[in-house]
Structure 1
Amino acid sequence: MAALDQPWSLTSHLLTLHTTQFTRATQSAFLQRAANGSLPKTTISHWLANDRLYMRGYIQLTGELLRILQLPSQPIPSSSLDPIEIRLLDWLVGALVNIRREERFFIDVAERYGLDLDLSGGGGKVAEEKKIEGLRRFEKLFGALTTGQKGADVLPWLEGVVVFWATERVYFEAWSWAKRQAEVESNERDISKDEDGGAMRKEFIPNWTNDEFIQFVDTLEKILDEGVEAATKENGGLKKELVGRAEKMWKELLDAEEAFWPNV
């Protein structure tokens, strides 16, 4: 959470809201069992398969944000700081690369540890009852942001970027908490004896808590905060509107994140 003496920013403000729910979304029983190696392969397989389907909506939202970005017509001197829209463009391109790399990582680990990521049963279509509640919420959230309709005149990308920042922030905080639990467990339990053979503690948890990931999240956080600051600098009355739009997305995102962890 943001320190009290730091200047106001949108993301620090959002992190002061719904703190109890944020804790539930980042310290679930599923994460605890992932950390101590007691999750069975069937549970991990089902969750990972849903997480992989979540990637489809992530890709679609990335495409929508790329479509609506209002890029400058004039070239930006190499000695100048890129405007917010160019920095966001770079982040979105990187996000697409990362999400494809993540899916390949899922498949590689699944093959090596005997996990099943196919919810379609070989039929190509996933039945709704096989989707966890969190995935259904994310599909609804992503769907509402990718209708192709005209967005707000000011920062039309705001809602989508809040969702991306929030989901990445929650994910990093959740698995960082799990990593701390796993470090305690590592002294008490041999990873090779984990129910999943070590997939969570050896592969997934390190991948979701590395320095590259938090740098990726921090980059978007700066873009989001600076974009809102610039938009409201000469129009203080706009701040309330932008904050309200962001708060709505933050709450919906937390609802989806909390529901994404299976009951175990």
Structure 2
Amino acid sequence: MTSQVPLTSWLLSATPNALKRATAHPFLASAGRGTLPKSTLSQWLAQDRLYAQSYIRFIGLLLAKIRIPAQRANSASPLKPSSEQHAVEVLIDALVNIRTELKFFEDTANAYGLDLTAISAEEGGESLAESGSGNITTSAGISTTGSGSCPGSTGVARGNQNNSPAADAEGEMEGVKAEEHRLCGAQGECQMQAGSDICYPPSPRKPQGGTNVVEREPSLPPGGRPASAAPLERGEPIYFAATSITHAYIDMFMSAGSTGISLLEGLAVLWATEVCYLRSWRYAASFLKLRGGQSQDDADGGALRDKFIPNWSSVEFEDFVDRIGDVLDEMAGETKGSEEAEMMRGRCLEWWRQVVWLEERFWPAMD
């Protein structure tokens, strides 16, 4: 049974192809080879900093879910530390780490001349259609076509209760079906129509019986300009903001920390983001071993080789990720009943798939 395998191990084996795409991206290879332009690094770093800032609120929401048992006055011995207490410890450490990380961003950016408010192509008004990708976006700005499909796809039909890694991998290869979109549907992001293989906005409803219907203007993307807008005039201001994928990541954090979501699911999201980040930068670090030359000769001036990659691929970071995983596995192991355990794993799998989907798209596209 899948419940006999630690939850973290089971999730890591559930989507091998998607995980590889998310953690072995061309952006990371370029970062490791020293060929990543300073402008591209600045654009990504600016968005990653916004992501890190939202992380603080997410951790706060998870801490608010925890109720630690009180020590009884007549107890002869102290209570054994519970999984909730272990969760508090790792979450507080996460807050300390992110405060250190944000200062690390600023110090390194200043030292190497990186811009933490760099404008991405998306914010500058370059639409997906203009880039030739043909992608369609949902109301949260999440792309729903291409190899990743919809972030809410579980790879398993509603009626299929077999959540084994083999079944999930097979479902991943079979493509997307309407009944698979449980997470995105629950969050109001799935726009798949009956008989279709992709998400797309439904056709506007026609007025009935002479009713006056006022259609709302479509919402603007995070950059403040519709995709169909005319090219920017020279001198027209462009404002720094979160991209659609950064917004989607922040929205996922807020959803995973909301009242109706369990602490275990929230910890699964936290661990998923951190383990993907660690694996990504370990992949980038693998290129450093094959290189020579001086770091100042790198396209980014050496920030990645000297500072960022060593920090994000370090043993210390790995230990922190493992601690989150240990708490997650401990809490998952306390789930009572095989049916409840399988349902819990299914919910965590949906969050895992969404994190991996977003991770792949958080890296800037490379030519």
TM-score in terms of structure 2 length? 0.63
Match of 1:112 in 2: 111
2:348 is equivalent to residue 246 of structure 1: yes
Match of 1:165 in 2: 271
How far residue 192 of structure 1 moved from its aligned partner, in angstroms, is 1.6
Match of 2:70 in 1: 73
Counterpart pick for 1:128 among 222, 244, 259: 222
Indicate conservation of the 8 Å contact 1:134/1:261, yes or no.
no
Work out the CA distance in 2 between the residues paired with 1:176 and 1:133: 26
How far residue 133 of structure 1 moved from its aligned partner, in angstroms, is 4.3
What do the CA deviations read for 1:147-179 (whole angstroms, capped 9, x no partner)? Answer: 4x3x35xxx202210111011101101101111
Work out the CA distance in 2 between the residues paired with 1:29 and 1:79: 52
Match of 1:40 in 2: 37
The percentage of counterpart residues that share the same residue type is: 37
Match of 1:4 in 2: none
Work out the CA distance in 1 between the residues paired with 2:13 and 2:48: 27
Indicate conservation of the 8 Å contact 2:23/2:279, yes or no.
yes
* SS of equivalent to 1:73: coil
Work out the CA distance in 2 between the residues paired with 1:28 and 1:164: 21
Q: Report the AA paired with residue 199 of structure 1.
A: A
Indicate conservation of the 8 Å contact 2:282/2:313, yes or no.
yes
How far residue 245 of structure 1 moved from its aligned partner, in angstroms, is 1.0
What do the CA deviations read for 1:75-105 (whole angstroms, capped 9, x no partner)? Answer: 6998765110001001110000000100000
Indicate conservation of the 8 Å contact 2:71/2:78, yes or no.
no
Work out the CA distance in 2 between the residues paired with 1:20 and 1:66: 33
Larger Rg: 2
Indicate conservation of the 8 Å contact 2:222/2:244, yes or no.
no
How far residue 209 of structure 1 moved from its aligned partner, in angstroms, is 1.2
- The gaps in structure 2 that reach 5 residues or longer are 120-220, 224-240
2:276 is equivalent to residue 174 of structure 1: no
Work out the CA distance in 1 between the residues paired with 2:302 and 2:77: 47
* SS of equivalent to 2:54: helix
2:58 is equivalent to residue 64 of structure 1: no
* SS of equivalent to 1:93: helix
TM-score in terms of structure 1 length? 0.87
* SS of equivalent to 2:69: coil
Work out the CA distance in 2 between the residues paired with 1:142 and 1:244: 19
Match of 1:220 in 2: 324
Larger relative contact order (CA 8 Å, sep ≥ 6): 1
Indicate conservation of the 8 Å contact 1:191/1:197, yes or no.
yes
2:357 is equivalent to residue 255 of structure 1: yes
2:341 is equivalent to residue 230 of structure 1: no
How far residue 16 of structure 1 moved from its aligned partner, in angstroms, is 1.1
Q: Report the AA paired with residue 131 of structure 1.
A: A
How far residue 211 of structure 1 moved from its aligned partner, in angstroms, is 1.3
Work out the CA distance in 2 between the residues paired with 1:140 and 1:178: 27
* SS of equivalent to 2:335: helix
Work out the CA distance in 1 between the residues paired with 2:243 and 2:76: 48
Work out the CA distance in 1 between the residues paired with 2:15 and 2:317: 24
Q: How many residue pairs get matched?
A: 244
Structure with the largest fraction of helix = 1
Match of 2:87 in 1: 88
Match of 1:123 in 2: none
Q: Report the AA paired with residue 203 of structure 1.
A: K
Work out the CA distance in 1 between the residues paired with 2:315 and 2:29: 22
* SS of equivalent to 1:231: coil
The structure 1 segments of at least 4 consecutive aligned residues displaced by more than 6 Å after TM superposition are 75-80
Q: Report the AA paired with residue 82 of structure 1.
A: P
Work out the CA distance in 1 between the residues paired with 2:342 and 2:294: 52
Work out the CA distance in 2 between the residues paired with 1:157 and 1:91: 13
Work out the CA distance in 2 between the residues paired with 1:118 and 1:239: 44
How far residue 65 of structure 1 moved from its aligned partner, in angstroms, is 0.7
Q: Please tell me the root mean square deviation across aligned C-alpha atoms, in Å.
A: 2.1
What do the CA deviations read for 1:23-71 (whole angstroms, capped 9, x no partner)? Answer: 0111111001100111111111110010000012211110111111121
Q: Report the AA paired with residue 23 of structure 2.
A: T
Work out the CA distance in 2 between the residues paired with 1:96 and 1:17: 29
Indicate conservation of the 8 Å contact 2:42/2:118, yes or no.
no
Work out the CA distance in 1 between the residues paired with 2:339 and 2:353: 23
Indicate conservation of the 8 Å contact 2:257/2:266, yes or no.
no
- The gaps in structure 1 that reach 5 residues or longer are 1-6, 121-126
User: Using a 3 Å threshold, how does the CA distance of structure 1 residues 79 and 212 change in structure 2: closer, same or farther?
Assistant: farther
